[in-house]
Chains A and B, each alone.
Chain A
């Protein structure tokens, strides 16, 4: 596989074309836990605005991520990463999303080597970004959406800001 193919795996190209979660959704009326984050990649001027709506878990555990939606200008890596992220964390718990986010960061710091199998399995489609970590200039592209997610969830949990 050439360097370029390691970077642009088919799953990434597909998600860059058919993007999930794109288009900001208004929060449901009465939704209490809504958060939004705006992130920029200063090297290229790319931007993303990501919104989450959380709900209390029926069992009183970690809140559930009801919706993820986003809008932005970005390269195929950043948009594919946002699309994959939407699929992975929507309808899951905040605790699972946090764990996934940590694992994805670990993957991006792994210089292109795969993570141990039990970790890699939790990543689902996000595991195909393994090749991105071989291109230091592109790691920020893949992480932009995850940074926005973490920030938006934190804002949703701290409650509405006046």
Chain B
């Protein structure tokens, strides 16, 4: 994209930003590779992000210099590894506006949400004593889940409902692919015990009005569980300011390693929540018949932890902090606007979700009339462009928007407008490849 301007300051700052982007890009070794004879254009950041060298190095350095079991053993290496593990927790907590004892390591975001759902089951079964009774569900209690959810923030609640006699109440989406905030008043009511919503849809990119959800849920005494997988890597997220009760996000989508996710829980809630996975590292006193449990977060971290991954995730959070999440969000908003404007120029392509880059992330799903997403993705792949095809683990919102599946392009910190133009060129040729009209 070329911009002409009479203002030399603006021109300079555009040049500086281009130079900064080139520096950021140089940190991602994988982005230099070729695919099918073309420079890779990676537009699948919403599925998983590529990793900057500092994250790869951090994980490797841990194994080369500091590997030991954490929270056990008194030798120097064990103490150093424990310090790195807990330091990662501090940095990640700080990155999302939480306190460090409110951050529980999990294997991924799906595990984080399942942890809450199974802990509520255990509370329903009477585990966790009187304090945990606030999580117990009774027959006829309601769990409100938005229609925009990834299966990870839907299926665990269906299972919880089946185990407890609670019922799922859907919170509808609008035709534009946003949460229908107007429906909160009627859907969230006296029987609502929990509201599960995404901070940003992984299909429509719509950013949720979290304050409206929290206000209504808290007014009726319900908990809010936020899926922050798409928001944490792309927006500055302050969980205390959002005032949600639980939140989940994954490491691998925010430039970190696979195998690490985060459950955030408000301190008072985590203290009252019974454990789910039990065993070593989460207990105080164990006899042959019973055990007492450590306070959170250790209560929820049974067994040997994924220490190297936490160290890698720390490096990722630090990398994003150094860039500044305001700068990341501004860069990606510019990309989103470019992407949406470009797709609007391609005939027979319909965007699923808001068509303006307002309260919207750069995860853009679309359908090409007459061409199945698998076929769209295949033609793009032949041009070196990596996109996601299918239902993106979110069948209900696809059904709501009248399609079975879609093609999705999603941007990240290292994406350039030149890459988007390669994608848009390839997209413009898709229908022609299958013998369909292109105008």
Contact = CB atoms under 8 A, between A and B. Distances in A.
Interface in A76-100: 76-77
A38 interface: no
A44 B36 contact: no
Nearest to A73: B404
A75 interface: yes
B248 to A, nearest CB: 23
A75 B382 contact: no
B435 A141 contact: no
Contacts of B389: 44
A59 to B, nearest CB: 42
Nearest to A2: B382
A135 B378 contact: yes
Interface in B369-406: 371-375, 378-379, 382, 389-391, 395, 398, 404-405
B123 to A, nearest CB: 32
A137 B405 CA distance: 16
A138 B374 contact: yes
Interface centre among A2, A7, A45, A77 (most CB of B within 10 A): A45
B382 A13 contact: no
18 contacts: A4-B379, A4-B382, A7-B378, A43-B390, A44-B405, A45-B395, A45-B398, A45-B405, A46-B372, A46-B374, A46-B405, A47-B404, A73-B404, A74-B372, A75-B372, A76-B374, A76-B434, A138-B378
Contacts of A44: 373-374, 389-391, 404-405
Interface in B396-425: 398, 404-405
A137 B377 CA distance: 11
A60 interface: no
Given A3-B382, A4-B379, A13-B434, A45 B372 contact: no
Contacts of B391: 44-45
B404 A45 contact: yes
A83 to B, nearest CB: 14
A77 B374 CA distance: 9
Given A43-B390, A44-B389, A75 B404 contact: no
Interface in A21-80: 43-47, 73-77
A125 B374 CA distance: 22
A119 B375 CA distance: 29
Contacts of B398: 45
A3 B405 CA distance: 24
* Chain A residues touching B, range: 20 to 34
A77 B434 CA distance: 12
Contacts of A16: 434
Nearest to B376: A75
A76 B375 CA distance: 7
A44 B435 CA distance: 23
B378 A4 contact: yes
A3 B36 contact: yes
Contacts of A137: 374
A3 to B, nearest CB: 6
A2 B405 CA distance: 27
Given A44-B390, A44-B391, A76-B371, 18 more contacts: A4-B378, A4-B379, A4-B433, A13-B435, A16-B434, A43-B390, A46-B374, A46-B404, A73-B404, A74-B372, A75-B372, A75-B374, A76-B372, A76-B375, A77-B374, A135-B378, A137-B374, A138-B374
Interface in A127-162: 135, 137-138, 141
Nearest to B390: A44
Contacts of B375: 75-77
Nearest to B436: A17
A3 B379 CA distance: 10
A2 B390 CA distance: 24
Q: Which 3 A-B pairs rank lowest in CB-CB distance, beginning with the nearest?
A: A75-B372, A75-B374, A44-B390
Nearest to A141: B374
A46 B403 CA distance: 11
A2 B383 CA distance: 11
Contacts of A17: 435
A17 B434 CA distance: 9
